[in-house]
Structure 1
Amino acid sequence: MRPGRRRWLARAGALGAVGLLSACASLTASQTRALLAQPPTDLPARVEWAQVPFFPQELNQCGPAALATALGAVGVPIAPEVLGTAVFVPAREGSLQIEMLAAPRRHGHIATRIRPDLIALLREVAAGQAPVVLLNLGLSIQPLWHYAVVVGYDLPAGEILLRSGTVQREVMPLSTFEHTWSRSSQWAFVVLPPDRLPAQADEAAVTEARIAFERVAPAPQAALAYRTAWQRWPDSLLLGLGLGNTLYAAGELTEAEAAYARVAQRHDSAPAWHNLARVRLERRDLTGAHTAAEAAVRRAQVEPTWRDAADAVWREVQQARQGATARPRP
């Protein structure tokens, strides 16, 4: 879906390649040169999160170790061995990116892709995050993929600080880091609880991550994730629908109705009108359900994939109204 979604492997044994790259890194590290020449005034000059845990990686286990580090940074104590079966693919001798993004959901947290940009990465660190990055510590023709966790940086010194491999505090020149990171299309993510957003939040990435979280999370947790994001992007159709759906699944019908109504009115969306009609029908608001079902049928003329669903809810509303009219009064 996104350019960085290619499945690269993270292999062990790559740490010795850093020194080989230092000499040529400055030739291509344009983001580092621009950053050090004129650092953003709102970006602290130095940051280091010494409290972030460290798990020395064992053979072929840099993925689980990096993920355990990122989860530990947000208060989820877990050993790499526990994560190994979830993210490590023995046949590939590494961890695929899709597994790395999926694993935190099973522990009540959300892995969100961050912008592929050095300043954006450092802003996440300055905000207290410990981003997981995918580096190629080899060469383009002979890649050595490796996951590490960023725990700080020093702009005056031109350095970035990592939890990496068997090194608890690896100090790497920013130019070298950019060079090795760029070969993964600057792929990185942060792990956060559902009520927090990345500092450099991108609406599309946040929405994608929350939709994936909804598939495995309890409905109240998923609703919290959607509510947090929708407060940031109140014009988002997908976030509003997601909030309504998860509130409905949690049995919060009044709040679900309010979310659907807001989305339907703002976007004049067939699925929003359809869902609003359904929840109003369940709450026995037949007049309101009739209004919403009528709007769903109207919108389905221009959103034809919703035509059958809109027609079905319209029929159900009319049957319910006829049944209510036919009942004798006590």
Structure 2
Amino acid sequence: MLRRRQALALAASLPWLAAGCASLDPLQSGAPWSADLPPRVELGAVPFVAQARFHCGPASLAMAAGAVGIDVSADALAEQVFLPAREGSLQVEMLAAARRQGLLAVVLPGELRALFAELAAGHAVVVLQNLGLSISPRWHYAVAIGYDAPAREVLLRSGDEPRQLMSWFTFEQTWARGGRWAFVALPPDRLPATAREADAVQAAIGFERVAAPAQAARAWRAVRQRWPDNLPAAIGLGNALVAQGDLDAAAQVLAQAAARHDSAAAWNNLAQVQLQRGDRTAARDAARRAVAAAERPGTDARWRDAALATLREAER
């Protein structure tokens, strides 16, 4: 599940903490940069949007969207993500707003290695920092646009600074206190270089709730391309194809997934598609397989009820 901590991102213009405070969270061990990455990266084409007071969230989203060719103002995004009573933006709203712009927003592993790998892949990264203490947080969103390995610096678009240089150590202090939370927003047929399977699936689930079926299908195809055996991605793609009216393609995708996983959900959805296609023989066979799969121990009882209902419909 997507992380839904009720963290707020407040304004920039907050004092930096001196390194070495006793209350700082422990830093990650090991080298965050590896020799297979370029020594220096700067995504200079990422637009800079200076934040208004308390609007670091909308400004960061506008920059991330602009990095992939989506022109949207911070003011327009503020209407979607900014909570005046909280003087900030919740993480879940940041992800949702990116999706409403037609972008697949995927949460990243909380590691500097992943952050640097995304930058090397040309992806701007929205990061959540805590510029205060763990016990007295001061949340802030910024956009990472580069790093310099020899100088051990991270490059940010942050607050009213278009090119803020920060040491790896200081950045990780503030990022660690923000839970090492970060995400990349890309067109739906592209995934972050370091995306984890579960995070990509959750991102696609969130995306399909607001996207047109054709766009949702692009997202699910991207997930399947990287993880061909992922069952939710196959079911999601099948459902998106049904919504598009491409029943033949949906039946093919769902049949492959059902046979590979012997999944009650996949068999039941396949039976429904076959009914829509007018093939009652195939629908009955799929529904019977759905019932059998749903009767296995540990399967949600609701799938058995759904499969039985589909079978009754197919046998009329």
Q: Check whether TM > 0.5.
A: yes
Name which of 113, 119, 125 aligns with 2:107.
113
SS in 1 for 2:85: helix
SS in 2 for 1:98: helix
- How big is each residue's C-alpha offset from its partner over 1:258-309, in whole Å with a ceiling of 9 and x where there is no partner? 1110110011011111111111122122222221111112112123221222
> In the alignment, residue 298 of structure 1 is paired with which amino acid?
A
Asked if the contact 1:15–1:137 (Cα under 8 Å) also holds between the matched residues in 2, the reply is: no
Quote the Cα distance in structure 2 between the aligned partners of 1:307 and 1:195: 34
- How big is each residue's C-alpha offset from its partner over 1:196-251, in whole Å with a ceiling of 9 and x where there is no partner? 00100101001001001111100110011001111111111111110101110110
- Pair 116,106 (structure 1): closer, same or farther in 2 beyond 3 Å: same
Quote the Cα distance in structure 1 between the aligned partners of 2:8 and 2:112: 22
CA RMSD of aligned residues (A): 1.6
Aligned to 1:34: 30
Asked if the contact 2:83–2:89 (Cα under 8 Å) also holds between the matched residues in 1, the reply is: yes
Quote the Cα distance in structure 2 between the aligned partners of 1:142 and 1:268: 50
Instruction: Tell me the CA shift for residue 5 of structure 1.
Output: 3.0
Asked if the contact 2:27–2:176 (Cα under 8 Å) also holds between the matched residues in 1, the reply is: no
Aligned to 2:224: 230
* Identical-residue share of aligned pairs (%): 54
Aligned to 1:131: 125
Quote the Cα distance in structure 2 between the aligned partners of 1:209 and 1:30: 27
Name which of 283, 289, 309 aligns with 1:312.
309
- Richer in helix (by share): 1
Quote the Cα distance in structure 2 between the aligned partners of 1:224 and 1:183: 35
Aligned to 2:200: 206
Aligned to 2:15: 17
- Pair 29,127 (structure 1): closer, same or farther in 2 beyond 3 Å: farther
> In the alignment, residue 316 of structure 1 is paired with which amino acid?
E
Asked if the contact 2:27–2:173 (Cα under 8 Å) also holds between the matched residues in 1, the reply is: no
Quote the Cα distance in structure 2 between the aligned partners of 1:138 and 1:281: 58
Equivalent residue runs for 1:1-330 within 5 Å: 1=1, 4-12=3-11, 14-18=12-16, 20-22=17-19, 24=21, 30-31=27-28, 34-35=30-31, 39-302=33-296, 303=299, 304-319=301-316
SS in 1 for 2:286: helix
Quote the Cα distance in structure 2 between the aligned partners of 1:135 and 1:123: 19
- How big is each residue's C-alpha offset from its partner over 1:165-190, in whole Å with a ceiling of 9 and x where there is no partner? 00000000110000000011100000
> In the alignment, residue 17 of structure 1 is paired with which amino acid?
P
Quote the Cα distance in structure 2 between the aligned partners of 1:307 and 1:23: 57
Matched positions, count: 312
Greater Cα radius of gyration, structure 1 or 2: 1
> In the alignment, residue 105 of structure 2 is paired with which amino acid?
A
> In the alignment, residue 34 of structure 1 is paired with which amino acid?
G
Asked if the contact 1:135–1:184 (Cα under 8 Å) also holds between the matched residues in 2, the reply is: yes
Asked if the contact 1:29–1:175 (Cα under 8 Å) also holds between the matched residues in 2, the reply is: no
Instruction: Tell me the CA shift for residue 132 of structure 1.
Output: 0.3
- Pair 15,21 (structure 1): closer, same or farther in 2 beyond 3 Å: farther
Asked if the contact 1:121–1:131 (Cα under 8 Å) also holds between the matched residues in 2, the reply is: yes
Quote the Cα distance in structure 2 between the aligned partners of 1:147 and 1:216: 24
- Structure 1: give runs of 5+ residues left out of the alignment: 320-330
Aligned to 1:325: none
